[in-house]
């Protein structure tokens, strides 16, 4: 089997969706599934010859060369990885499945929806009630949807990574013909093979911290939406009660969402906030680190903390990574709450942007080592159902189902054609 992946960008170190696609491709390759990636000129990884830059940018004017590039490939199916931000919020991608089929593309199209339910087309100069009527009219008939145009309605199968997206799609498209599958993501950092006690010693030695130090660990891109402006004041409150506490901010700033200049500015803002709060000796920002090093840091930590402003859901690779490293976690709750995370005995929720509540929970956990161990083990066991081999197997089942369905449809069509010729 040969699969074309269409990716808005393909820089795994700077984009969670690209990293997801890279992990999936690696697992599929182990199952004898060949894949190539078609993307933009600024995205390919030079060392990966299967990643092809076929257009300069996402725009209406690049649809035709994109279609030709897809048609030039010999593939069994096309798998579109979609998150609006990875395509620069350009809407031309929404027409691609319809255009491909009108120009003779016959292989199945599958779309993975990484984000859904928060962004839709609002053209200027047209009365909003007209647009709303048109959106609703098309959705009721399963022709298009208000957020992704023809992307979902022209796919042979749809994959979502989270419950919220699946619920929104079913609600908006009650007559959707394509089957909808939910395949969760997995941790984006594998657990390193290191003894936990040894990891605790090493991380404390590396930063010159005492053996009695208790480490809080944040993992993920350091972005304005990640709640770091809440975490740092909360950590100062923690220090007043637990002076041996230390905070590790694990992750880089630069990403697809926060490019170089903006990333530098935000890094400086965080450093200024740390200095203003008097935390420069108790907080360490690691910047980008290789996955194995991140895993060693997490293995040496005591509590994980994710104070995201929008709240945490099960589609967070950071959450799954902390779980896989058997850390008890304090996190902010999304609105509405993720049904897959409520309630969980390995996770404590607080409201977003509430440093007092965050500090209270962190102080409580730091004072209860046995409870931390119990919560960490519970989270670890919960995380084991989310693995890349399982994700690849689920994708392979979807691929085979879609191809079997297409083969059966072709056979039925040929039988009908022979009948009418008689």
SS (H, E, C) 383-402: HCCCCHHHHHHHHHHHHHHH
Residues 181 and 97 in one domain: yes
Average pLDDT, the chain: 91
Considering only 4-8, 122-126, 152-156, 407-411, which range has the smallest mean pLDDT?
A: 407-411
Cβ distance 114 to 20 under 8 Å?
yes
pLDDT of residue 411: 53
Structure tokens at 40: 């933009």
**Residue 232 maps to a domain:** yes
Closest CA to 162 of 313, 283, 8: 313
**Residue 114 maps to a domain:** yes
Instruction: Tally the domains of the chain.
Output: 2
Name the β-bridge partners of 215. 246
Looking at the chain, the whole-number percentage of residues with pLDDT higher than 90 is: 72
- State the CATH number of the domain containing residue 61: 3.40.50.2000
Looking at mean pLDDT, say which of 5-14, 188-197, 274-283 comes out highest. Answer: 274-283
Tens of pLDDT, residue by residue over 196-248, are: 999 999 999 999 999 999 999 999 999 999 999 999 999 999 999 999 999 99
**Nearest-5° Cα angle at 325, 320 to 330:** 65
Residues 155 and 225 in one domain: no
Considering only 109-123, 176-190, 405-419, which range has the smallest mean pLDDT?
A: 405-419
Banded pLDDT at 1 (limits 50, 70, 90)? very high
How much is the CA Rg of the chain, to the nearest whole Å?
A: 24
Banded pLDDT at 120 (limits 50, 70, 90)? confident
Tens of pLDDT, residue by residue over 278-292, are: 999 999 999 999 999
pLDDT of residue 130: 87
Residues 230 and 335 in one domain: yes
The answer to whether residue 94 scores a pLDDT higher than 50 is: yes
Looking at the chain, the whole-number percentage of residues with pLDDT higher than 70 is: 95
Banded pLDDT at 422 (limits 50, 70, 90)? very low
Closest CA to 10 of 256, 190, 252: 256
Rounded average pLDDT over 153-181: 92
**Residue 269 maps to a domain:** yes
Phi, psi for 401 (deg, rounded to 5): -65, -45
Rounded to whole angstroms, the Cα distance separating 55 from 42 reads 9
Cβ distance 165 to 82 under 8 Å?
no
Question: Between 291-299 and 196-206, two packed helices, what is the crossing angle to 10 degrees?
Answer: 100
Tens of pLDDT, residue by residue over 40-59, are: 987 655 567 899 999 999 99
Structure tokens at 334: 């999304």
The answer to whether residue 89 scores a pLDDT higher than 90 is: no
Helices and strands counted in the chain (H then E): 13, 13
Rounded to whole angstroms, the Cα distance separating 24 from 114 reads 14
Residues 247 and 305 in one domain: yes
Tens of pLDDT, residue by residue over 303-315, are: 999 999 999 999 8
The answer to whether residue 338 scores a pLDDT higher than 90 is: no
**Residue 51 maps to a domain:** yes
Rounded to whole angstroms, the Cα distance separating 158 from 170 reads 11
Banded pLDDT at 408 (limits 50, 70, 90)? low
pLDDT of residue 420: 38
Residues 407 and 323 in one domain: no
Rounded to whole angstroms, the Cα distance separating 199 from 1 reads 42
Residues sharing a CB contact under 8 Å with residue 395, sequence separation 6 or more, in sequence order: 24, 28, 159, 183
The answer to whether residue 322 scores a pLDDT higher than 80 is: yes
Rounded to whole angstroms, the Cα distance separating 101 from 401 reads 20
Residues 349 and 397 in one domain: no
The answer to whether residue 410 scores a pLDDT higher than 70 is: no
pLDDT of residue 417: 39
Rounded average pLDDT over 323-351: 91
Rounded to whole angstroms, the Cα distance separating 169 from 180 reads 9
The answer to whether residue 416 scores a pLDDT higher than 60 is: no
Rounded to whole angstroms, the Cα distance separating 291 from 271 reads 24
Closest CA to 160 of 219, 105, 113: 113
Tens of pLDDT, residue by residue over 126-164, are: 888 888 898 889 898 889 998 999 999 999 999 999 888
**Nearest-5° Cα angle at 400, 39 to 101:** 50
Residues 216 and 301 in one domain: yes
Residues 114 and 221 in one domain: no
**Residue 210 maps to a domain:** yes
Residues 179 and 215 in one domain: no
Cβ distance 103 to 67 under 8 Å?
yes
Please give the model's pTM, rounded to 2 decimal places: 0.85
Q: What domain range is 355 assigned to?
A: 196-383
Q: Using the Cα atoms of residue 189, residue 185, residue 376 and residue 274 in order, give the sign of their dihedral.
A: positive
Structure tokens at 419: 């009948």
Rounded to whole angstroms, the Cα distance separating 206 from 104 reads 60
**Residue 134 maps to a domain:** yes
Rounded to whole angstroms, the Cα distance separating 137 from 162 reads 26
Closest CA to 216 of 41, 414, 361: 361
pLDDT of residue 344: 79
Residues 278 and 402 in one domain: no
Considering only 6-10, 125-129, 356-360, 370-374, which range has the smallest mean pLDDT?
A: 125-129
Residues 77 and 219 in one domain: no
**Residue 191 maps to a domain:** no
Rounded average pLDDT over 67-74: 94
Residues 302 and 344 in one domain: yes
């Amino acid at each position: 089997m040969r699969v074309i992946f269409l990716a808005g960008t393909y820089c795994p170190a700077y984009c969670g969706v690209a990293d997801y696609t890279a992990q999936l491709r690696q697992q599929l390759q182990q199952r004898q599934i060949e894949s190539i990636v078609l993307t933009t000129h600024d995205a390919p990884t030079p060392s990966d010859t299967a990643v092809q830059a076929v257009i300069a940018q996402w725009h209406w004017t690049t649809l035709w060369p994109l279609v030709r590039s897809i048609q030039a490939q010999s593939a069994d199916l096309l798998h579109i990885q979609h998150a609006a931000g990875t395509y620069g919020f350009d809407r031309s991608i929404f027409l691609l499945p319809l255009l491909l089929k009108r120009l003779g593309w016959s292989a199945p199209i599958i779309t993975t929806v990484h984000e859904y339910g928060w962004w839709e087309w609002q053209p200027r100069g047209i009365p909003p009630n007209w647009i709303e009527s048109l959106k609703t009219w098309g959705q009721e008939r399963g022709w298009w949807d208000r957020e992704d145009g023809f992307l979902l309605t022209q796919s042979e199968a749809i994959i979502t990574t989270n419950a919220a997206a699946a619920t929104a799609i079913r609600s908006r498209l009650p007559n959707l013909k394509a089957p909808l599958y939910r395949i969760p993501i997995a941790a984006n950092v594998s657990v390193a093979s290191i003894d936990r006690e040894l990891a605790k010693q090493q991380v404390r030695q590396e930063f010159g911290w005492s053996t009695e130090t208790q480490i809080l660990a944040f993992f993920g891109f350091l972005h304005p939406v990640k709640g770091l402006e809440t975490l740092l004041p909360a950590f100062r409150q923690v220090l007043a009660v637990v002076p041996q506490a230390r905070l590790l901010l694990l992750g880089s700033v630069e990403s697809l969402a926060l490019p170089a200049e903006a990333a530098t500015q935000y890094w400086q803002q965080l450093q200024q906030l740390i200095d203003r709060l008097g935390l420069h000796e108790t907080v360490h920002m690691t910047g980008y680190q290789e996955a194995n090093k991140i895993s060693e840091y997490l293995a040496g930590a005591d509590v994980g903390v994710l104070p995201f402003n929008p709240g945490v859901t099960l589609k967070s690779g950071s959450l799954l990574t902390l779980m896989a490293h058997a850390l008890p976690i304090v996190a902010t709750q999304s609105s509405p709450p993720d049904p897959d995370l409520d309630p969980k005995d390995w996770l404590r929720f607080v409201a977003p942007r509430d440093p007092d509540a965050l500090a209270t929970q962190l102080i409580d956990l730091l004072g209860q080592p046995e409870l931390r161990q119990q919560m960490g083990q519970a989270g670890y066991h919960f995380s084991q159902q989310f693995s890349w081999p399982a994700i690849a197997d689920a994708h392979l089942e979807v691929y085979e189902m879609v191809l079997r369905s297409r083969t059966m449809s072709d056979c039925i069509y040929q039988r009908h054609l022979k009948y009418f010729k008689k």
